[in-house]
Amino acid sequence: MNGNKKALLLVGSPKSEKSTSASLGNYLCSKLEGHVSAIDKRYIHRIYNHEEKIKELVKLINNTDIIVLSFPLYIDCLPAPVIKTMELIKEERDKLENKNAPFFIAICNNGFPESSQIKLALRICRIISEECGFTWKGGFAAGGGGAINGAPLKRKSGPGRFYVKGFDIAANSLKDDEDIPQKAFDTVSKKAVSYNMYRIFANLGFRLELHPTYLAVMIISGVLLLILGTPITIIGAIDNDPMGLNIGIAFLIIGLNLFINGIVFRMNIKKRSSI
C-alpha cells in the first residue's frame, strides 16, 4: 500500500464516539496510519437524516480507497440507520458517471459472547458492498463487544486481546496490498471471556443499572451512612480518637459513593426512557 491512499471509518452505533463500534473501527484504522495519508470519520446516526450530509459523504467515498463500516448487532441485523444510509449511498452512487470501487471492510460487534450470531449481518454487508459497487474485503465478527463497552482498544491482553491481534494481522495485509487472511477474521471471532463470567457480569450490570429497588437501596444506604458517619467523625475528631475518626471517614466515603452512584444510575435510566 502506498501512503497516498485514503481511508474512511463509518461508525454505525447511536453511542457514536463512546461506542464499542468506534473503539474497534478506530483501532483498525489507527493501524493503517502511515500507509494511508488521511482517515476520515463519520457517525452514521448524525448524518443519515440529512440529505446534504449524505451527498457530501458520497463525494468523500468517491475519493476514498478503504471504507471500514463498524456497527453493533441489532436483532441479528444492522441498525436501521446504517441500512438506510447504505441504501442512500447506493442511490447516489448510481447517479455517478465515474465511480471508484473502494475496499469495503465490515466490523460488527454484539452483546452476546458468541460471534456466530453476527454471520447473517456480515452476509448482508457483503450484499451491500456489491450493490454499492465496492470491493468486498471481508467482515469481522467481534463477539462479546459489551466487555469493551466503548473503551479504546490498546492492549494485547484482557477482553479485547483477540480483536487487537486479529486487526493487527488484517492491517499488515492491507498495507502490503494483500487480501486479509482468514486467520485475521478467525482471531477477532475468538471468545475472550468465558460464557459464565460474561453472564455473571452482564446480569449484575443490568440489575444494578435497571432495577429501581437496587437503586433505591443504594441511595438510602448512602444517606444513612452519611448521617451516621458525620457525628462519628466529629466526635472522633473532638476526642482525638483515631479509631472513631477512621470509622467515621470510612462511613462518609462509602456513603457518598453509594449516594452519587445511585443518583447517576437513576438519571441514566430517566435519560434513556425519555429518548
Ligand X SMILES: Cc1cc2nc3c(=O)[nH]c(=O)nc-3n(C[C@H](O)[C@H](O)[C@H](O)COP(=O)(O)O)c2cc1C
Q: Determine contact, residues 32/175, Cβ cutoff 8 Å.
A: yes
Residue number with CB closer to ligand X (72 or 262): 72
Contacts of 161 (CB under 8 A, 6+ apart): 155, 192
Residue with Cβ nearer ligand X (75 or 243): 75
We find the least distance from the C-beta atom of residue 186 to ligand X, in angstroms, to be 19
Question: In whole angstroms, how close is the CB of 75 to ligand X at the nearest point?
Answer: 5
Q: Which of 70/233 has CB closer to ligand X?
A: 70
Q: Which is nearer to ligand X, 124 or 258 (CB)?
A: 124
- In the complex with ligand X, the residue whose CB is nearer, 98 or 196, is 196
| Shortest Å distance, C-beta 71 to ligand X | 7
Which residues of this chain interact with ligand X, rule CB under 6 A?
Answer: 13, 15, 19-21, 72-76, 109-112, 117, 145-146, 150
User: In whole angstroms, how close is the CB of 104 to ligand X at the nearest point?
Assistant: 19
> Measured from the CB of residue 29, what is the shortest distance to ligand X in angstroms?
15
Q: How far is the CB of 234 from ligand X (least distance, A)?
A: 46
CB of 272 to ligand X, least distance (A): 10
Q: Which residue from 101, 180, 198, 99 is spatially nearest to 140, judged by alpha carbons?
A: 180
First CA to last CA across the chain, in angstroms? Answer: 44
Q: How far apart are CA 85 and CA 44, in angstroms?
A: 7
* Nearer of residues 109 and 233 to ligand X, judged by Cβ: 109
Task: Enumerate long-range contacts of 150-153, CB under 8 Å, 24 or more apart.
Answer: 150/15, 150/18, 150/19, 150/20, 150/22, 150/23, 151/23, 152/23, 152/26, 152/27, 153/23, 153/24, 153/26, 153/27
Looking up cell 467515498, which residue turns up? 61
Cell 463500534, located at residue: 21
Closest residue to ligand X, based on beta-carbon distance: 111
How far is the CA of 17 from the CAs of 9, 109, 235, 250, in angstroms? 12, 15, 48, 36
| DSSP secondary structure of 144-179 | TGGGTTTPPP--SSSTTHHHHHHHHHHHHHHHTT-P
For ligand X, give the closer residue by CB, 115 or 129.
Answer: 115
